[in-house]
């Protein structure tokens, strides 16, 4: 791909060339190429391996709140991916003031840490 093309054109060309089909299965998310080869997603793969002692310590520290924190971070990740898709499509996105999610909570994208980290 020519690097002088806009990023959304590069991504579109990549998607056209790659053509992956997503499968959400009971054993995780998988992607299948046009030759029928399936590969597990990175997120599904990471869920079956040890995340290490730092993650274990985080779980112990956060206890019952760990699920709420995880779900909040997953929601933020989903929003970030949506914005990336919008930017790749050539849309202008202004994150300088953060945003309010569907639960009415403010998400700040300026690198400010919240209390759950």
Q: Please tell me the distance from the alpha carbon of residue 31 to that of residue 22, in angstroms, as a whole number.
A: 5
Q: If 0-12 CB within 10 Å is exposed, 13-18 middle and 19+ buried, where does residue 58 land?
A: middle
Tokens of 38: 């399936």
Instruction: Say yes or no to pLDDT of 61 above 80.
Output: yes
* 20, containing H or E segment: none
- On average, the pLDDT of the chain sits at 76
Mean pLDDT across the stretch 38-63?
84
Q: Which of 2-6, 14-18, 44-48 ranks highest by mean pLDDT?
A: 44-48
Give the model's pLDDT for residue 43: 78
Confidence of residue 117 (pLDDT cuts 50, 70, 90): very low
């Amino acid at each position: 791909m020519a690097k002088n093309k806009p990023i959304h054109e590069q991504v579109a060309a990549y998607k056209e060339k790659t053509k992956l089909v997503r499968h959400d299965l009971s054993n995780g998310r998988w992607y299948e190429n046009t030759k029928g080869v399936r590969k597990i997603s990175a997120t599904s793969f990471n869920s079956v391996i040890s995340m290490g002692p730092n993650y274990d310590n985080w779980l112990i520290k956060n206890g019952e709140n760990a699920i709420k924190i995880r779900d909040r971070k997953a929601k933020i990740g989903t929003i970030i991916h949506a914005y990336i898709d919008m930017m790749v499509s050539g849309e202008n996105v202004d994150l300088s003031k953060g945003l309010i999610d569907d639960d009415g909570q403010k998400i700040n994208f300026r690198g400010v840490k919240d209390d759950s980290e």
